[in-house]
Amino acid sequence: MRFIEIKNWTPGYLNVTPQHVTILAACVVCGSEREFDRCAVPVDAKHALIVDIEARLRCAACGARAGRLRFGSYAED
Ligand SMILES: [Zn+2]
């Protein structure tokens, strides 16, 4: 499985991101990626701008606050 990112697209807000779109949280510093669980987002952030959510991301691997959300879907190789 590999992740196909939708190029040059952002939903703008988390709550309008279509359910079929997979969200990956990627760390700009160390390159680690993990699936972003939108169900785990605090209630006060559910209607937040994507850029505001990115500002709150903290990398589980290296601790950097340099997260970016990538939108797309998985495809079979
Ligand atoms: Zn990192």
- Residue type (1 letter), 45: A
How many folded domains does the chain comprise? 1
How many A from CA of 70 to the centre of ligand 1?
15
The model carries a pTM of 0.90
List strands edge to edge, sheet with 2-5: 2-5, 67-75, 22-27, 33-35
Taking the chain (77 residues) in consecutive chunks of 10 residues, what is each chunk's mean pLDDT? 94 95 97 94 92 95 97 92
Q: Which pLDDT does position 61 carry in this prediction?
A: 96
CA angle in degrees (0–180, nearest 5) for 39-58-21: 40
Q: What's the CA gap between 24 and 28, in Å, rounded?
A: 12
Q: Which pLDDT does position 68 carry in this prediction?
A: 96
How many A from CA of 62 to the centre of ligand 1?
4
How many A from CA of 40 to the centre of ligand 1?
19
Which residues have their alpha-adjacent CB atom under 5 A from ion ligand 1? Answer: 27, 29-30, 32, 59, 61-62, 64
Q: Which pLDDT does position 74 carry in this prediction?
A: 94
